[in-house]
Amino acid sequence: RKEVEQDPGPFNVPEGATVAFNCTYSNSASQSFFWYRQDCRKEPKLLMSVYSSGNEDGRFTAQLNRASQYISLLIRDSKLSDSATYLCVASMDSSYKLIFGSGTRLLVRP
Amino acid sequence: NAGVTQTPKFQVLKTGQSMTLQCAQDMNHEYMSWYRQDPGMGLRLIHYSVGAGITDQGEVPNGYNVSRSTTEDFPLRLLSAAPSQTSVYFCASISVGGEAFFGQGTRLTVV
């Protein structure tokens, strides 16, 4: 079983839709969590960190559920430019050994 | 700002050849990592380093060596290339807050 698991998608949604991705992690000692965005044939870039109390950045909301060991990403009012692969990441703070999920592909159509 | 510089961008090797992928960062980060990305597999950790002189294995270390003689540089060596090592390789430099800054990637084909 992979340490970090995601639904690969693709999620195909119209512009303006709300879409949510979930991610589960198996190592209960994981301390830090992140969502990264990766465009086709490009390097991943940090989208947002995920805090225990949940956090919001514009149209993006991230939440963490430690009891169930999953994190989520909600995108509201989807834009065409949101089309990308979204990578869930967990890490052990002591080493910053970042473990990536396989990614969820999002396609936003006009 | 250079950030993370990774070279080369593309490489074709013959089976059995060796090569070194270069990675340099100018952000004074202690933590650096190497990943490979294959279709449907996401990024898998090859090796990582928590500071100069300290390295450790990740999920898929076989066939690769690393060293960290300085804070800035973290090269990845392929000892004897195999077709199974055909992949896209990313170097990452990681801040104290856990944010990873990636190089542009190396597309490696082993024939």
Number of H helices, E strands in chain A: 0, 11
Chain A: residues touching B (Cβ < 8 Å) = 8, 32, 34, 36, 42-46, 49, 87, 89, 91, 93, 95-103
Q: How confident is the model at residue B63 (pLDDT cuts 50, 70, 90)?
A: very high
The distance of Cα A5 from the centroid of its chain, to the nearest Å, equals: 11
CB contact under 8 A, B98 and A98: yes
Give the pLDDT confidence of A79-90 residue by residue, as tens digits: 999 999 999 999
User: From CA A59, how far away is CA A47, in angstroms rounded?
Assistant: 12
Query: Is A87–B102 a contact, with Cβ atoms under 8 angstroms apart?
Result: no
Which of A98, A100, A104 is the mutation pick for testing B, counting most B CBs within 10 A? A98
> Torsion over CA of A35, A68, A65 and A12, rounded to 10 degrees?
40
Measure CB to CB from residue A98 to each of B33, B50, B103 and give the nearest one.
B33
Residue A94 has pLDDT above 90, yes or no: no
pLDDT value at residue B1: 60
Q: Give, in degrees to the nearest 5, the angle at Cα A4 between B57 and B38.
A: 65
Q: What's the mean pLDDT in B90-101? A: 91
> One-letter amino acid identity for B77?
R
Strand partners for B55: B49
